[in-house]
Amino acid sequence: MSLFRAIVYDKNVTTRKEDATVSGQILSAVPILISNDFDGTVAFYQQFGFHEVDRYDRDYLIIRCDGLELHFVPRPDHDPANSWHSAYVRILNVKALTRQWQDLSLSKEGIPRYVPASLKPWGMIEAHIVDPDGNLLNLGAANEEFTSSRHGPVEDN
């Protein structure tokens, strides 16, 4: 079962009708983020279940986990502490994802970091990953999937 949900418009894939608002067949949207150390980026994201798909010398890196694909390009003048690069990813099961990553020994502050899922005031359950280059992945799901108490960590009941 895929924990990430990519909204796919394809005649061979079932999608929710309310998602099908574009007349073309959009296959996916892929963020292009910054990495000045492709080997380090691959090693970091492997903790979260990603694997390297392709690499084009030192110019382009592609990694994937389930339905989520991330692309990376180098930028030597990039400062991770001042990075504004990010992507918001809707996922199906935050509880399973959080359980899968609960033993990671990453800080909840600084760069890099992993912040476990919690209920946000805007009604989403979100977890956050910040990689060594300061790229932020917001991972979120709608609140109705959970039975956790408001504003607390997502726990298995």
Each residue's pLDDT tens digit, 35-77 = 999 999 999 999 999 999 999 988 999 999 988 999 999 999 9
Q: What is the residue extent of each domain of the chain?
A: 17-145
Which pLDDT value is given to residue 47? 94
Which pLDDT value is given to residue 22? 55
> Binning pLDDT at 50, 70 and 90, where does residue 156 land?
very low
| Cα separation values, 78 from 83, 117, 140, Å | 7, 28, 27
Enter the tokens of residue 142: 């709608």
pTM for this one? 0.76
Q: pLDDT tens digits for 109-128?
A: 999 999 988 888 888 889 99
Q: What does DSSP say about strands 68-73 and 86-90: parallel, antiparallel, or unpaired?
A: unpaired
Which pLDDT value is given to residue 72? 98
Q: Spelled out in words, what is the top-level CATH class assigned to the domain 17-145?
A: alpha beta
Measured CA to CA, the distance from residue 129 to residue 91 in angstroms comes to 14
